[in-house]
Structure 1
Amino acid sequence: MPTPSQHSKPAPPPGQLSTPRAAALAGVLFAVLLGTTLVLIRITMPDHVEDSAQWLQTRHSALITATVLMPFAGISFLWFIGVVRDGFGDHEDRFFLSVFMGSGVLFLAMMFVATAGVAGLVTSNDSVTDPAARTEVINFGRMMVISASQTYALRMAAVFMISLATIWLKTRLMPRWLVALSYLVAVTLLISSELSRWLTLVFPVWVLVVSGLLLARAGLIGEQRGEGDRSRRLA
């Protein structure tokens, strides 16, 4: 007869976060920071601006705040990617894992490019003195920011969602409804990413949903990983 101690699960070391909880916390922080950044840029940079110089002067502080928040959002997203990958354990699929990590890094790079464009717009408003040149620079910068954040970043986010959903489907680490929802949202972003700039908020909302579910299922995922570890030791 096995003793009760043989069935008990080892307690995690004090102060150590489990992988699902760490991923959830990083995802929530990323979703809040990126969502705030995108909203600030969206409400301060409308589609049609007649007086670009005045627009930058009157909304200068909001744009600066967005450029300050974005690096911290990026750090949180890298942490999210790392701890989500660690949660796969031996279930890693090299192909989809490569696509998952590559698309995540490319998404983050495009968002950094877009935010750097915003910072450049703020700087150019003070450094470019000729009114005609200033208007051309600001118009070019606005289009670059929109293209980087929508045409490229959103589509990389869609690839990130598809690859992660496929890994979940193969490993059964997450429920099928989330896999189906991820596929549906990703295809929508791939096709319709340029219809509205508010679509950029879809990705942080999706990460927030995933993070909440990771937090709710942290114990179950930990048990699945523990069973896998025990099976490998017995083998």
Structure 2
Amino acid sequence: MLLAAAIVLIRLGIPTSADAATATGFTDAAQRGAVSAALELVPFAGIFFLWFVGAVRAHVGPVEDRFLATVFLGSGLVFTATLFGAAAAAGAVLAVSHPSGAAPSPVAWDFGRHLAYTLMTGYAMRMAGVFVCSLSVMGHRLGVLPRPLSALGFLTTLVLLFLSSNVPWSELVFPVWALAVSVHILMVGGRAGSRGAPAPAAAPSA
């Protein structure tokens, strides 16, 4: 949810248009506030995403496939690092606007905007696609995910790999998928906890 909020705020705060005239709009307080809020959320989104990775591996358990688990973990770490890089680039766009409220130069604006979106949609989301694909394959092979959730993962993979850099807002499918997996893990964990609850101790015999 934090990741989705950060993506939405970045999209609203930094337009994708390469028109130099959009640089003057970045002096708007609402746009600057949206980017600032996104930059505050990204570190926590990354922390909770790593927690999510740990929860998924615990859910898979000892049947985990080593090859797929390596791809899963590696792509998750690269995604997090690239997401932080995109946030840093967005922060640079914010910083080049002078404190007096003057618009950033068109060159600085276009470079920072292009770098932020390239890192997010061109690299981070493709790593997210590998992450989703590896877990979906594990879920299908090992039976740790229901078939509809595995199918949703394969569809999400296609969107992230082939559409994220060309279709605006398509990157939001990743946090939606992560939310669906999280809900499933919580539900399974809750049912397992209720079944595994120890029975009350019997009263001692006289």
Could you tell me the TM-score, scaled by structure 2's length?
Answer: 0.85
Q: Which residue of the partner structure matches residue 33 of structure 1?
A: 2
Superposed displacement of residue 164, structure 1: 0.4
Superposition map of 1:31-180 within 5 A: 32-48=1-17, 49=19, 50-58=21-29, 59-126=31-98, 134-180=105-151
Change (3 A) 1:109 1:207: same
- The Cα RMSD (Å) is 2.5
Q: Is the 8 A contact 1:56 1:122 kept in 2?
A: no
Q: Which residue of the partner structure matches residue 202 of structure 2?
A: none
CA distance in 2, matches of 1:202, 1:116: 23
Q: Which residue of the partner structure matches residue 14 of structure 1?
A: none
Deviations 1:199-219 (A, max 9, x none): 111100111111112222224
Give the alignment partner of residue 156 of structure 2, picking from 185, 204, 212. 185
Change (3 A) 1:214 1:158: same
- Farther-moved stretch of structure 1 (214-223 vs 195-204): 214-223
Letter in 1 for 2:46: G
Q: Which residue of the partner structure matches residue 27 of structure 1?
A: none
More helix by share: 1
Q: Is the 8 A contact 1:53 1:125 kept in 2?
A: no
Letter in 2 for 1:42: R
Q: Is the 8 A contact 1:110 1:149 kept in 2?
A: yes
Superposed displacement of residue 152, structure 1: 0.6
Q: Is the 8 A contact 2:27 2:102 kept in 1?
A: no
Superposed displacement of residue 177, structure 1: 1.4
Change (3 A) 1:224 1:144: farther
CA distance in 2, matches of 1:170, 1:136: 50
Mark the runs of 5 or more structure 1 residues left unpaired by the alignment: 1-31, 226-235
Superposed displacement of residue 88, structure 1: 2.1
Superposed displacement of residue 221, structure 1: 5.7
Mark the runs of 5 or more structure 2 residues left unpaired by the alignment: 197-206
Deviations 1:3-60 (A, max 9, x none): xxxxxxxxxxxxxxxxxxxxxxxxxxxxx11111111111122222514144244321
Q: State how many pairs are aligned.
A: 193
Q: Is the 8 A contact 2:85 2:119 kept in 1?
A: yes
